Amino acid sequence: MVVTSISRTEIQDKLAKGEKFILVEALPANYYEDAHLPGALHLPHDQVDQLAPALLPDKSAEIVTYCASLPCPNSEIAAKRLVELGYTNVKEYREGKQDWSEAGLPFESGK
């Protein structure tokens, strides 16, 4: 099962145009609370089964998972699990927070 990847510029375009999609950070809580992409929800890769039904009730919504960086497997694990659970429009921002930060883009912090 292959999850489509999405680039930082594609995410920036979607945010700029106000397109409806859901950013999901797949890292543990302390990383999410420290800094996450604007508007991102917190869905740790090891809690997808428990949290996805309430956090992501619309299985046809566009969902973009991300984690720390290319070597980090969490976003891929979460994305594949969402697809297995029946979500039909899941993408992965593989470069994640490192790429976002290196581009000088803003983060949010807190829960």
Domains of the chain: 4-89+96-102 (3.40.250.10)
Mean pLDDT of 45-72: 97
CA contacts within 13 A on the Cβ side of 93: 26
Tell me the residue length of the chain: 111
**Residue 111 confidence class, pLDDT cut points 50, 70, 90:** confident
List, edge to edge, every strand of the sheet that includes 63-66.
4-5, 90-93, 63-66, 22-25, 41-42
Model confidence at 1: pLDDT above 90: no
Instruction: Give the number of other Cβ atoms within 10 Å of residue 100's Cβ.
Output: 22
Dist CA 85 CA 54 (whole Å): 13
